[in-house]
Amino acid sequence: MNQGKNQHHKKAQAGSIRIIAGKHRGRKLPVLAAEGLRPTTDRVKETVFNWLMPYIHKAYCLDCYAGAGSLGFEALSRGAEQVTLIELNKTAAKQLQANKALLNADNITVKHNDVVTFLKNKPEQTFDIVFIDPPFRQNLVSQTAQLLAQGWLSKQALVYLETEIAAEQLLPNNWQLLKEKIAGQVAYRLYQVQ
């Protein structure tokens, strides 16, 4: 009897993300439990994509620190042209690949890589919308932002940033804050490159 409880507990640790709107609306995608993985909540995701609604169609999106892929898959469902997901955790990256296959999404690219290492490469393309939702308390935001500013962003690109409230970050001077909200211990902001 105890064994059944343990198996149930294991399943409960993993979970799923739900696509809120668009082509894949209502689809649930499995998420594996991985350390530091915090899928963006539906409430926050809803707000973010309301902010992005005028810009998402045909956009080229980069999801840094993709984790469960919650933001990237939502962008795809809502009409993004192409989505690149970068995830360092091998298990999480494999799950992203599996979810890409579940959705039959040819226009998603999964990169099993460290974001900072990836962004130090010469940009092969520019992105219209970038999601930065790194693991908390690792001071990754400033470094990621400075690297993105070196040729990765299209003209007037939008950058979504999700951090713990107290996070110190040095952002490029030409990033203008458009929207900002606080939910619990999390601050989320939308910037536009000027």
Domain hosting 82: range is: 2-193
Confidence of residue 14 (pLDDT cuts 50, 70, 90): low
Radius of gyration of the chain (CA): 16
173 class by beta-carbon count within 10 Å (0-12 exposed, 13-18 middle, 19+ buried): exposed
In whole numbers, what is the pLDDT of the chain averaged over residues? Answer: 89
86 class by beta-carbon count within 10 Å (0-12 exposed, 13-18 middle, 19+ buried): buried
Q: How many domains does the chain have?
A: 1
Confidence of residue 37 (pLDDT cuts 50, 70, 90): low
| Residue 156, phi-psi category: left (phi > 0), alpha (psi -120 to 50), beta (remainder) | left
Write out 4-23 in H/E/C secondary structure: HHHHHHHHHHCEEEECCCCC
CATH number, domain containing residue 136: 3.40.50.150
CA gap 14, 168 in Å, rounded: 31
The terminus-to-terminus CA distance of the chain in angstroms comes to 61
Over residues 43-60, the pLDDT tens digits come to 889 999 999 999 999 999
Instruction: Give pTM, 2 decimals.
Output: 0.89
CA-nearest of 176, 180, 177, 130 to 151 is 130
Over residues 92-144, the pLDDT tens digits come to 999 999 999 999 999 999 999 999 999 999 998 999 999 999 988 888 999 99
pLDDT at 128: 98
CA gap 162, 132 in Å, rounded: 6
